[in-house]
Amino acid sequence: MIVMRERSLVPGMVLLFLAAWFGFAVALAKHYGLDVSLGISTGWQAAVAAVAGIIGAIWFFLSDQLSAARLLVILGVCCFLLGSWYGLFVAPPETYMGQVQRIMYVHVPTAWNALLAITFGFVAAVVFLFRSDWKWDARLEASIEVGVLLCFLLCCQGAIWAKPTWGVWWDWDPRLTTTAVLLFAFLGILALRRFVEDPMRRAVWSAVATIIAYIDVPIVYFSVKWWNSLHQQQSSPATVSSQFYLPLRMNAFGVLFIMTGFIMLRARIARERVEQELAPPLPARGQMQEAV
């Protein structure tokens, strides 16, 4: 049971700093000739950065504070701007794909985070079914909406990447096709939420639907992969070589922090709406200072 006291953001900030340091500060410094790695190997640096970044984001997330959400979004935007600047202007073009390779620096982070958002929706759905806590219903609604946004972006980026590479807007790549199916499945769940008026029923039904849809994701992926493999050779984008990790990593953190911040903000909106539905607002009600 998470107790809703005023949780300090300091540990989260320390974690995020660690993540930023080992995630890209070290590599960036190396690019300009400085060595600030403290003797830690690159593999471990990446691991520490990833773990610290995710735990830091979760720490901020569970604090449920508006300031934390805003901080995350601002931090995310900074990382994204930095990563995009590096990916667009500093990183060299790739041998075969040329400049089009740069799309990967925004496409791969979006992919990771879309999956993360949907997975978090699944977690929220399961937790809600066990605890019947409105907070988790709000988080479910938020993560599905942000997940849908990211899936939509993924399809757009994928199509924009496919056109110069394969000459067609859509090439039935298993990952992208699964994303499209995912997009429709979760759009349906959002529509379901819109049409059910009773808050409890809406919460339970969308949780059930989310669980069903999420379990479907790997099944859809494997069936499409199989279905597609009979027609064309695997057309996945070239894996990013280690030289190009830096902009990828920066953007990954950027989108992660933006996404987490957005989910927090959206969850707060959802929470406020449910509170309104369950009890009409009294006049001169105090500011919603209590935790989301």
Binding site for other proteins (CB under 8 A): 66, 73, 84, 88, 95-100, 102-103, 106-107, 110, 129, 146, 149, 152-153, 156-157, 160-161, 163-166, 181-182, 184-185, 187-189, 191-192, 195-196, 204-205, 207-209, 211-213, 215-216, 219-220, 222-224, 226-227, 230, 258, 262, 265-266, 268-269, 272, 281, 287-288
The residue with tokens 């009600």 is 285
The answer to whether residues 214 and 119 touch, using CB atoms and an 8 Å cutoff, is yes
CA distance 275 to 13: 31
Q: Give me the least distance between CB of 106 and other proteins, in Å please.
A: 5
> Are 6 and 232 within 8 A, CB to CB?
no
Closest approach of Cβ 35 to other proteins, in Å? 31
Residue whose CB is less far from other proteins, 116 or 182? 182
A 10 A CB-CB count for 43 gives: 8
Tokens of 85: 């600047």
Which one, of 270, 258, 253, 174, lies nearest residue 220 by Cα? 174
26 or 150: CB nearest other proteins: 150
Least gap, CB of 40 to other proteins (angstroms): 32
Nearer to other proteins, 20 or 73 (CB): 73
State the nearest-atom distance from the C-beta of 127 to other proteins, in Å: 14
- The residue (of 26 and 154) whose beta carbon lies closer to other proteins is 154
The two structure tokens encoding residue 169: 């807007």
Q: Closer CB to other proteins, residue 15 or residue 259?
A: 259
Q: Write down the least CB distance from residue 57 to other proteins, Å.
A: 16
**Please, which residue, 22 or 193, has the CB nearer to other proteins?**
193
Cβ 160 to other proteins shortest distance, Å: 5
Nearer to other proteins, 30 or 175 (CB): 175
- Give me the least distance between CB of 17 and other proteins, in Å please: 24
